Amino acid sequence: MKTLKEVSVGETVTVKKLSGEGPVKRRIMDMGITKGVQIFVRKVAPLGDPVEVTVRGYELSLRRADAQMIEVE
């Protein structure tokens, strides 16, 4: 199992599963991040927070804690 937090910059991955509960999971899904969606990792801040990604043509910043809840392949 690999999470979005572990993906290298410049890599494109597919979302396999979202873990997390209630409002946190809802916030991730509201960003358009759902099972089967492709995510391109554009940039990761020096300390790993935030992770900047492109999802469905939109550029987003994710907290490291949120990125850890997104399982990818």
Q: What is the CA radius of gyration of the chain?
A: 11
25: CATH: 2.30.30.90
pTM of the predicted structure, to 2 decimals:
0.90
- The residue range of the domain holding 26 is 2-72
The count of residues in the chain is: 73
What pLDDT is stored for residue 7 in this prediction?
Answer: 95
Q: What pLDDT is recorded for position 48?
A: 79
| Tally of domains within the chain | 1
Bridge-based pairing of strands 70-72 and 2-3 is antiparallel
User: pLDDT for 56-72, tens place per residue?
Assistant: 999 999 999 999 999 99
Closest by CA position to 21, among listed 73, 72, 55, 69: 69
- Find the mean pLDDT for residues 47-60: 93
**Per-residue model confidence (pLDDT) at position 20:** 84
Q: What is the dihedral of CA 60, 61, 62, 64, to 10 degrees?
A: 150
pLDDT at 41 over 90: yes
